[in-house]
């Protein structure tokens, strides 16, 4: 049994304000549903970051300005769809580097490795499956050669601001002087655009959230009935917080037999599942200072919806 997941489920569902961590969305089915989310036209984050990495790979690598060879360590690599453009630029220009994708999802890592081996046969790739917190602090992903860490897709927005600073500081602690971090951040914008990306009319984000209940059923012999739950999310344009929730549609009891737990849900009770925080460029500058990085540049897409911000230690 995955004990971290078990402990977090017990703690989260027995709290007064129920919550589950979004990192558990990504079992193999969840990773596939997330790819569907990324393909929705409303989910501007993918197109914006894809544009940045397609059109500005050369400028990003010039700004990094490393001697070769160097490492590219990608934290939470997922399907690597956007990173591919950066890797392709480097391979096509015969710039010597090693790619180390890290992800908690074995399925995501297997399909990424297979795809990259086919598309970029000359790529030096060293995948790691596991929690990036543990891999960063326990394993030696860093070597003598310079490293560029990638934390893309707006993942940083999944952490409340204080935890985001702690996470960036953890990255910083595991970097050598002169190493760089390319940080994907979703930028504050017209709230309707943000709201439509998360409360999508296709119901894919709802399916993504409810899959977490199905995952709990599978792993802990639970009896969640997904039709008795709904999905809601809300964007607050002042704080920049998108908060996502699962909503109980009736008073109900759910048994998690393997955990020996019975969870009571009241009518309309919420489980908070995800934070997706948006930042202004000035707020990103503050995050960087608080975690002891220097901002080299904000690489923005043409609509200024998203930034891949280059930070240096
Ligand atoms: C929102 S997706 C983004 C994927 C990719 N970076 C992108 O921009 O498309 C988050 C990815 O991070 C992985 N992930 C989430 N939490 C993680 C953790 N603590 N350690 C390792 N991987 C994690 C998930 O499995 C998922 O593939």
Which domain CATH number covers 148? 3.40.50.150
Is the pLDDT confidence value at 105 over 90?
Answer: no
Query: Each residue of 223-245: pLDDT tens digit?
Result: 999 999 999 999 999 999 999 99
* Residues 52 and 92 both lie in one domain: yes
* Residues 265 and 303 both lie in one domain: no
Confirm or reject: Cβ of 24 under 6 Å from ligand 1: no
- Within-domain flag for 5: no
Instruction: Tell me how far the alpha carbon of residue 139 lies from the centroid of ligand 1, in angstroms.
Output: 18
Confirm or reject: Cβ of 104 under 6 Å from ligand 1: yes
Confirm or reject: Cβ of 108 under 6 Å from ligand 1: yes
Q: Which atom of ligand 1 is nearest to the CA of 153?
A: 8
Confirm or reject: Cβ of 155 under 6 Å from ligand 1: yes
Instruction: Give me the DSSP letters along 228-285.
Output: GEEEEEEEETTTTEEEEEEEESS-EEEEEGGGTEEEEE-TT-EEEEEEEE-B-HHHHH
- Within-domain flag for 101: yes
Confirm or reject: Cβ of 152 under 6 Å from ligand 1: yes
**How far apart (Å, rounded) are the C-alpha atoms in residues 239 and 17?**
20
- Within-domain flag for 214: yes
* Residues 260 and 298 both lie in one domain: no
Question: Looking at ligand 1, which residue's alpha carbon is closest to its atom 10?
Answer: 76
Instruction: Tell me how far the alpha carbon of residue 187 lies from the centroid of ligand 1, in angstroms.
Output: 19
Q: Which atom of ligand 1 is nearest to the CA of 103?
A: 22
Whose CA is closest to 296, among 278, 308, 283, 279? 308
Confirm or reject: Cβ of 207 under 6 Å from ligand 1: no
- Within-domain flag for 12: no
Going 203 to 106 to 116 to 155, the CA torsion angle's sign is positive
Contact 176, 313 (CB under 8 A): yes
Q: How far is CA 57 from CA 64, 299, 302, in A?
A: 11, 10, 15
At 65, list the tokens.
């300005």
**How far apart (Å, rounded) are the C-alpha atoms in residues 96 and 66?**
11
Confirm or reject: Cβ of 78 under 6 Å from ligand 1: yes
Question: Looking at ligand 1, which residue's alpha carbon is closest to its atom 27?
Answer: 78
Contact 81, 113 (CB under 8 A): no
Instruction: Quote the pLDDT of residue 139.
Output: 58
Confirm or reject: Cβ of 149 under 6 Å from ligand 1: no
* Residues 114 and 227 both lie in one domain: no
Query: Each residue of 197-212: pLDDT tens digit?
Result: 999 999 999 999 999 9
Instruction: Tell me how far the alpha carbon of residue 75 lies from the centroid of ligand 1, in angstroms.
Output: 7
At 261, list the tokens.
């737990």
Residues in the chain: 313
Q: Mean of the pLDDT values across residues 11-39?
A: 94
* Residues 97 and 157 both lie in one domain: yes
Confirm or reject: Cβ of 57 under 6 Å from ligand 1: no
Average model confidence (pLDDT) for the chain?
95
Segments forming the whole domain that contains residue 51: 44-190+279-312
Question: Looking at ligand 1, which residue's alpha carbon is closest to its atom 9?
Answer: 153
Instruction: Tell me how far the alpha carbon of residue 254 lies from the centroid of ligand 1, in angstroms.
Output: 28
* Residues 96 and 160 both lie in one domain: yes
Confirm or reject: Cβ of 153 under 6 Å from ligand 1: yes
Query: Each residue of 134-193: pLDDT tens digit?
Result: 887 765 555 789 999 999 999 999 999 999 999 999 999 989 899 999 999 999 999 999
Q: Mean of the pLDDT values across residues 53-71?
A: 96
Instruction: Tell me how far the alpha carbon of residue 10 lies from the centroid of ligand 1, in angstroms.
Output: 23
Instruction: Quote the pLDDT of residue 129.
Output: 92
Q: Mean of the pLDDT values across residues 65-75?
A: 94
Task: Place 1 in a pLDDT band, splitting at 50, 70 and 90.
Answer: confident
- Within-domain flag for 2: no
pTM of the model: 0.91
- Within-domain flag for 6: no
- Within-domain flag for 31: no
**How far apart (Å, rounded) are the C-alpha atoms in residues 233 and 242?**
7
* Residues 261 and 207 both lie in one domain: yes
* Residues 86 and 140 both lie in one domain: yes
**How far apart (Å, rounded) are the C-alpha atoms in residues 113 and 130?**
15
* Residues 215 and 289 both lie in one domain: no
* Residues 61 and 161 both lie in one domain: yes
* Residues 186 and 219 both lie in one domain: no
Instruction: Quote the pLDDT of residue 133.
Output: 80
Share of the chain above pLDDT 90, in %: 89
Confirm or reject: Cβ of 105 under 6 Å from ligand 1: yes
Confirm or reject: Cβ of 132 under 6 Å from ligand 1: yes
Confirm or reject: Cβ of 246 under 6 Å from ligand 1: no
* Residues 90 and 114 both lie in one domain: yes
- Within-domain flag for 30: no
Instruction: Quote the pLDDT of residue 292.
Output: 97
Instruction: Quote the pLDDT of residue 205.
Output: 97
Domain total for the chain? 2
Q: Is 253 exposed, middle or buried (0-12, 13-18, 19+ CB in 10 A)?
A: exposed
């Amino acid at each position: 049994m995955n004990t971290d997941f078990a402990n977090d489920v017990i703690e989260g569902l027995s709290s007064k304000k129920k919550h589950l961590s979004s990192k558990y969305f990504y079992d193999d089915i969840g990773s596939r549903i997330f790819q569907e989310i990324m393909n929705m036209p409303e989910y501007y984050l993918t197109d914006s970051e894809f544009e940045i990495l397609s059109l500005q790979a050369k400028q990003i690598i010039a700004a990094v300005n490393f001697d070769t060879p160097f490492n590219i360590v990608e934290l939470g690599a997922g399907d690597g769809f956007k990173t591919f453009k950066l890797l392709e630029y480097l391979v096509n220009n015969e710039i010597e580097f090693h790619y180390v994708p890290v992800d908690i999802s074995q399925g995501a890592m297997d399909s990424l490795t297979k795809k990259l081996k086919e598309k970029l046969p000359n790529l030096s790739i060293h995948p790691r499956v596991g929690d990036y917190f543990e891999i960063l602090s326990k394993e030696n992903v860093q070597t003598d050669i310079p490293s560029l860490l990638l934390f893309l897709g707006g993942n940083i927005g999944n952490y409340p601001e204080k935890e985001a600073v702690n996470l960036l500081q953890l990255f910083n602690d595991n970097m050598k002087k002169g190493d760089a971090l390319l940080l994907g951040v979703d930028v504050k914008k017209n709230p309707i655009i943000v709201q439509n990306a998360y409360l999508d009319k296709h119901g894919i984000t709802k399916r993504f959230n409810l899959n977490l209940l199905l995952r709990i059923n599978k792993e802990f012999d639970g009896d969640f009935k997904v039709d008795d739950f709904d999905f809601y999310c809300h964007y607050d344009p002042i704080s920049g917080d998108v908060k996502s929730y699962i909503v109980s549609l009736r008073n109900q009891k759910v048994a998690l037999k393997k955990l020996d737990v019975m969870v009571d849900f009241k009518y309309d009770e919420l489980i908070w599942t995800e934070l997706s925080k948006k930042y202004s460029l000035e707020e990103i500058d503050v995050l960087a200072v608080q975690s002891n990085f220097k901002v080299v540049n904000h690489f923005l897409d043409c609509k200024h919806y998203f930034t891949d911000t280059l930070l240096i230690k």
